[in-house]
Structure 1
Amino acid sequence: MAWVRTIARDEASAELAAALEGQHALYPAEYDGPIRGLDERTPGIVASHTLIPQALYHAFATFGALMAPDLPLSRRDHEMIALMVSTTNRCRYCSAAHAEFLRRVVLDDDLVRALREDYANAPIADRERAMLDYAVQVTQDATRVSPAWHDRLRGVGFDDRGILQVTLIAAWFNYINRAADALGVGRD
């Protein structure tokens, strides 16, 4: 469900169709198909943006660009950040979607469950824990991020480009979580 009108793909104008196709081309294969834990009839977050095609394209193309394979983070990293930000924000739709996308990437239900329940005790590498601690801090209060946070990330192997990528993915998910919840995406 979304609390605003959405436009189905088969009813899309040429502008909307182009925005949907352009955005979709930037996304990984894991994003195709139904999302376990969500009603297939529920319009997703992309559909909730269909009334403003250019906003749809630019909003979702931003995240698509941040998942480019030539950037430092892996697909696992992208989805772990998405899941932790969405879980921290209690965004039901994005938490369910990105838990499923992470599951499709790592093929490990136990890891996904551990991250959702208590990421601080999940079986992940120190590099991943530092990355998720940082993403959660950005989500909870970015004004408390200091150079020490970046030093910690550098200490586990992130360069400045990687730190920027983590920051932008975390910030983007804070935006999209709020849009999803405010528009009723996945809410009853």
Structure 2
Amino acid sequence: MATGKTATPRDRLLAAATDLFYREGVTATGVERLCSVAGVSKRSMYQLFKTKDDLVAEALKASGPGTNAAFFPEDAETRPRERVLHVFRVLEDLAGQPAFAGCPFVNTASDLRDHDHPATVVAREFKQELTDWFTAEARAAGVADPELLGRQLTVVFDGSAARTVVHGTGLDGLSLATAAALLDAAGVA
């Protein structure tokens, strides 16, 4: 997004889309509402994005790197176990916030229910980035099957985020304890 300048109509649409799709859902958010919040005409929106589907995908592409990066520790020198547990501590903290509405990638894919939708493809790529990160940490820790542990940790992450949405409560250490148990079972000290 633009920094230090007046936001362009494209920037405003992407920001409004990111916020509304996360809080209200993709299918529940109509083009009229999106344009109203962004302060952009429908005509302008369709000049910038061929379809709402294109906007959904572009909004995920724009916000995805920051979403994933918010979970990763900045310190590359910390042991893999602590780096992985850091991700779950951040998730636990976020899940306790009233504005937390789950994982935007899982939410989008679940809302659309179309494996080939451009936004679902983008969501899958960002979820794979998280899995790849977990896998790399497992590999650095010397785990026998780092790919399996990477996928397992992603399932815990996604399930924990979904549980928060379904129950409307924080995780109370559940995701952290589950991730730690997986790391223990894999021999990650």
Please give the TM-score of this superposition, normalised by the length of structure 1: 0.32
Structure scoring higher RCO (CA < 8 A, sep ≥ 6) equals: 1
TM-score (norm 2): 0.31
